[in-house]
A = this chain, B = another copy of it.
């Protein structure tokens, strides 16, 4: 998808929030936000917003001299979600349709977003799980899954990957081989290989990286190795808004699973803002 006008203030707000997480003094945060505004002022709106997010994120890490301003927040989000894992796992096991319930929880897990909440403690997920699906291509997903041997799972945020793990366990339990792709290096509170390891994803699935620090999969920015895996996949489950932003124009056997947390993404997905979404890629 292209960058909406609303994405500019949203990305700048996230950069100020990122600076505050590291306790940066106001003049440093000021420098980050005004340099971010300079990037935004000459931005090509036909590019997806995650690319501007990536540029501002690089600026943030460079000015703060911090490899990962969100590290503590990600660890806290993983720990908070892990402490709720047994309860969610039990909920899925008791559900009339465990696969659908796991999809719903994983979509709700997309609410674990530092762009949305100043601190993450896991309680956001239970609230989001009660949100209705604005688009629900579950029947099509089940059909495609039946014929697939392997699933490429594109992860999104730390914390959220605990909910992804529960969904992936459902897929593995149905005999699918699952490969999980995380970000190549830190960007926002997105999950990296360290987060995948922290929540035990490596024990049930193969973990690979996109080879990129963009907070969403945009193929031009990914490693050749990742692109090959993407192009050969027979079913791809893409979590989160960032991956949708980067892949909404890409032809592939894709299903998007996320919460449409902002006006631009809700518009592109054709749902009311706030909705959960399970959307089969058109075309």
State the A residues within 8 Å of B (CB): 4-6, 8-10, 12-13, 16, 19, 26, 29-30, 32-35, 37-38, 40-43, 45
What is the bound-complex CA distance between A26 and B263, given in angstroms? 12
Partner of A40 from B4, B16, B37, B45 at Cβ < 8 Å: B37
Give complex CA distance A40, B33 in Å. Answer: 9
Which of B12, B19, B32 sits near A12, CB closer than 8 Å? B12
**Chain B nearest CB, measured from A258 CB (Å):** 22
Q: How many copies of this chain are found per oligomer?
A: 2
B26 touches A8 (CB 8 A): no
For A16, the closest partner residue in chain B by CB is B5
Given contacts A5-B19, A9-B12, A10-B9, contact A34 B29 (CB under 8 A): no
| Dominant secondary structure of chain A at its interface with chain B | helix
| Cα–Cα distance between A37 and B10 once the two chains are bound (Å) | 12
In the complex, what residue of chain B is closest to A42 when comparing beta carbons?
A: B34
A33-B5 contact, Cβ under 8 Å, with A38-B41, A41-B41: yes
Chain B residues with Cβ below 8 Å from A34 are 5, 8, 40-43
User: From residue A138, how far is it (CB to closest CB) to chain B in Å?
Assistant: 32
Which 10 pairs of residues, A with B, have the shortest CB-CB distance?
A9-B13, A9-B9, A38-B41, A9-B12, A37-B41, A5-B29, A5-B33, A37-B40, A37-B37, A5-B16
- Having A5-B32, A9-B10, A35-B41, one finds 16 other A-B pairs with CB under 8 Å, namely A5-B16, A5-B29, A8-B9, A8-B33, A8-B37, A9-B9, A9-B13, A12-B37, A13-B13, A34-B40, A37-B38, A37-B40, A37-B41, A38-B38, A38-B41, A41-B41
